[in-house]
Amino acid sequence: MTISMYQASAPVFVRMLNNLAGVLKKAAAHAEAKKIDPAVLLHARLYPDMFALVRQVQIATDNAKGCVARLAGIDPPRYEDKESSFAELFSRIEKTIAFMTSVKPEQIDGSEARTITLKVRDQTITFTGLVYLLNYAQPNFYFHVTTAYGILRHNGVELGKPDFLGKA
């Protein structure tokens, strides 16, 4: 049995972004129920030198759409990174999912050996498509989704592993 590059990318990202949206919905409900200013959660971080929740979600969506676009050989859509509410984060996740579901399997399948070049800070990194997906894009994506979950759990939002993993 084989798995295609499409199967290993777009649907995986879509599933986890839907799970992230569910986690954020629980956070918004928690803030409302506990009479907490939502900005407290949106600007919370695990440690002072780490990004806040809003930025974690922005980076997760950037990683997902960027990976799918690069594997498909197209430019990723650009977002302004201006979100300041749960509603705006939900909208960002929805438009990211809409973009990824617009990319067809045939655009991504066969991209295992495609050259992917990234500018990261002051350096350029080059990968093959398969190495980029499995060793860079997915781990980076999961790092930021997990950190967003951790920020909210640390701040008292009642979450559990099923919220992170979603329904099978």
| Residue 4 is assigned to a structural domain of this protein | no
For the chain, give percent helix, strand, coil, nearest 5. 60, 5, 30
Q: Which residues form the domain of 60?
A: 10-165
State the total domains in the chain. 1
Separation of alpha carbons 163 and 21, rounded Å: 10
5 falls within a domain? no
Please indicate, yes or no, if residue 104 is contained in any of the structural domains.
yes
Q: What's the CATH code of the domain at 42?
A: 1.20.120.450
Residue 118 DSSP one-character state: E
Note whether residue 32 is domain-resident: yes
What is the model's pTM?
0.96
Each of the 168 residues of the chain gets a pLDDT tens digit; together they read: 789 999 999 999 999 999 999 999 999 999 999 999 999 999 999 999 999 999 999 999 999 999 999 999 999 999 999 999 999 999 999 999 999 999 999 999 999 999 999 998 899 999 999 999 999 999 999 999 999 999 999 999 999 999 999 987
